[in-house]
Chain A
C-alpha cells in the first residue's frame, strides 16, 4: 500500500509541476493539441480500425461459409 501511495503522490507532484511549467509556455496551444489527439484517437482512429477489422472478419467468414458449402457432397 505504501508503494502505491508513494507512486500516486509522486505522480501528482509531477503532474502539478508539468501544469505550472505548461502555464509558462503555451498552455492554450498545448491543451488544444492534447484534446485533439485524444479525440482523434478515441473517436476516429480506434472506431475506424475496429470497423475495418470487423468488416474483414465478416468477409472472411462469408467466404469460408461459401467455400464450405461449395465443397460439400452433392446429391444427384
Chain B
C-alpha cells in the first residue's frame, strides 16, 4: 500500500499559513486605523478594478517597449532588430514614454482608491495575509520607482537616484511585472466580480464616481497627447511632463550631450582610423569628403521619448566597410568616439544596419558642417536605432566580417 502524503502536507502548510494570528490590542486602533477614517464614498472595488485594468495595460505596453529598447542596446546572440522601417524605434520608444507618463494619473488614482487598505484592521490576520501585503508593498514600490525614475530621466535629474538609471529601471521593470502578475492572480476573483457588477434598476446613477473616472482618463489622454508633442511639432508647446522640443537645439535639432560635456575640442589634425581585414588606415576630413557623399532623411529617436527628423549627408558605412576590405553585406562595425569616458562612447553597428545604404558616417546636417554638439567632425546616423547608439565624434571604426 502506498501512502499519498502530498496533498495532506500541502493542506497542512496552507492551514498553517492561514491560521489566525493574535489580534493586536484594540487600544492602538486610532487615527487612520480607526473605523471610518476614510469616508470618501467615491472609492469602490469597481473603480479600483477599472483603473487597475487601464494601469495594467499601460504597464504591459511600457514593459514590452522598454524591453525592446533594452535588447537593442544590449542584444543577446538571439536578438535581431531590423534597420527598416526607419521610424519603428521612434514609435516603440515614443509609446514607452507616453504610456509611462500616462501611468502618473492612473497610478495616482489607483493608489488613492486603495489607500484605506493600508490601514486595514487587524494589520496582519495570518502569515498568508502578511505575504499578500508584502507583495502589494513590493508592487507599489516598484510601480512608483518606475514612474518617478522615468520622469527624473526625462528631466536629466540623476542626483536623487543612487544607482545607474538604465540598470535600475530595467531590473525594477521585471520586479514590477512579476509583482503585478502575483497581484492579478491574488485579486482576480474580486476584480472579476467588481467588473461584472451592474447597477441595480433601483440604484441611482453614480455621477461623482463617473466624473472621477472620466477625469482620470482625460488626464492620462492629455499627458499622452502632449508627450507626443516631443515629436509632433504642432503639439510641442503643450508638453507638461515632456520638456524636449523637436526643433530646439543647434542646427534645429535637440542635443542631450554637448561637446563640452563630453570633453571634445576641435582638432585640426583629425583623422578617422578604419581598421579591417585589409589592415589599418586613416582618413582626414578632406579624404572623407572626397568619398561619394549621400544625403538621407533620418530621425534621431532618443530613449527619453523625443525624436526629430533631419537631413544628413556623409559617407555610407557600407562603402567604408568595403574600403576596409570587408564584404559590406556580411560585416559589423564597432564605432568608437573620441570621447574618453562615457557609457556610450562605443557602439556596435550590426550587419543589417551596416549593409543598409541609409547608414552614414555623417559629416553634414541640413547641408551645413556638423555642429560640435552634433558630433563634429563625424558621427554615425543609422535608421531605426536609439539616439544613444548614434555615436558622435567618431575617432575609430573597426570592421569585422561575420561568417
Binding site for B on A (CB under 8 A): 3-8, 10-19, 21-22, 25-26, 28-30, 32-35, 37-38, 41-42, 46, 49-50
Query: Which of chain B's residues 208-259 have a Cβ closer than 8 Å to chain A?
Result: none
B185 and A33 form a contact (CB under 8 A): no
Shortest Cβ gap from A45 to chain B (Å): 9
Q: Which residues of A contact B189 (CB under 8 A)?
A: 4
> Can you identify 17 A-B contacts, CB atoms within 8 angstroms?
A7-B182, A14-B174, A15-B178, A21-B174, A22-B172, A22-B175, A25-B164, A26-B164, A29-B161, A30-B163, A30-B172, A32-B162, A34-B145, A34-B172, A37-B141, A37-B144, A38-B144
The reply to whether A25 and B162 form a contact with Cβ atoms under 8 Å apart is no
Is A8 a contact partner of B163 (Cβ separation < 8 A)? Answer: no
| Per-residue interface assignment for chain B, residues 166 to 184, with 1 indicating a CB less than 8 Å from any chain A CB and 0 otherwise | 0110111011011111111
Question: Total A-B residue pairs with C-beta atoms closer than 8 Å?
Answer: 110
Task: Verify A7–B162 contact, CB threshold 8 A.
Answer: no
Within the assembled complex, what's the spacing in Å between the Cα atoms of A3 and B137?
Answer: 23
Cross-chain contact B140 with A38 (CB below 8 angstroms): yes
Would B111 and A41 count as touching, CB distance under 8 A?
A: yes
Q: Interface range on chain B: under 10, 10 to 19, 20 to 34, or 35 or more?
A: 35 or more
CA A75 to CA B185, docked complex, whole Å = 66
**Contact A38 B163, beta carbon cutoff 8 Å:** no
Once bound together, how far apart are the Cα atoms of A41 and B139, in whole Å?
13
Contact status A15-B185, CB under 8 Å: no
- Verify B148–A26 contact, CB threshold 8 A: no
- Are A11 and B163 in touch, CB under 8 angstroms? no
Q: With contacts A16-B178, A33-B161, A46-B112 known, what are 10 further pairs, Cβ within 8 A?
A: A10-B178, A15-B175, A15-B179, A17-B178, A25-B171, A33-B145, A34-B145, A37-B141, A42-B118, A50-B115
Report B-chain residues with C-beta under 8 Å of the C-beta of A42. 115, 118, 140
Distance between A13 CB and nearest chain B CB, rounded to angstroms: 7
Q: Are A15 and B138 in contact (CB under 8 A)?
A: yes
Chain B residues, CB < 8 A from A7 = 181-182, 184-185, 188
Given A26-B163, A29-B161, A38-B178 contact (CB < 8 Å) = no
Interface centre among A14, A28, A32, A50 (most CB of B within 10 A): A14
Distance in Å: Cβ of B132 to nearest Cβ of chain A: 10
B149 contacts the other chain (CB 8 A) = yes
A3, B167: Cβ atoms under 8 Å? no
Q: How far is the CB of A66 from chain B (nearest CB, A)?
A: 23
Specify which chain A residues have a CB less than 8 angstroms from the CB of B175 in the assembled complex: 14-15, 18-19, 22
Main secondary structure of the interface of B (DSSP, over half): helix
Q: For residue B37, which residue of chain A has the nearest CB?
A: A50
Chain B residues in 8 Å Cβ range of A35? 141
User: Contact at A29–B141, with CB atoms within 8 Å?
Assistant: no
Take A19-B175, A22-B171, A26-B164 as given contacts and tell me if A11 and B181 are in contact as well, using a CB distance cutoff of 8 Å: yes
Q: Is there an interface contact between B140 and A41, defined as CB atoms closer than 8 Å?
A: yes
Closest to B118 in A: A42
Specify which chain A residues have a CB less than 8 angstroms from the CB of B115 in the assembled complex. 42, 46, 50
Tell me whether B142 is interfacial, beta carbon within 8 Å.
yes
Residues on the A chain within 8 Å of B171, using CB = 18, 21-22, 25, 30
Roughly how many angstroms separate A17 CA and B177 CA in the complex, as a whole number?
Answer: 11
B40 to chain A, nearest CB (A): 8
Q: How many angstroms from the CA of A19 to the CA of B179 in the assembled complex?
A: 12
Known: A29-B168, A34-B145. A17 touches B174 (CB 8 A): yes
CA distance A35 to B170 in the complex (A): 17
B163 near A4: Cβ-Cβ < 8 Å: no
Q: Which of B103-130 contact A (CB under 8 A)?
A: 111-112, 115, 118
Interface centre among B112, B137, B141 (most CB of A within 10 A): B141
B141 near A15: Cβ-Cβ < 8 Å: no
Note all chain B residues with C-beta closer than 8 A to A14. 174-175, 177-178, 181
Find out whether the CB atom of A33 lies under 8 angstroms from the CB atom of B184: no
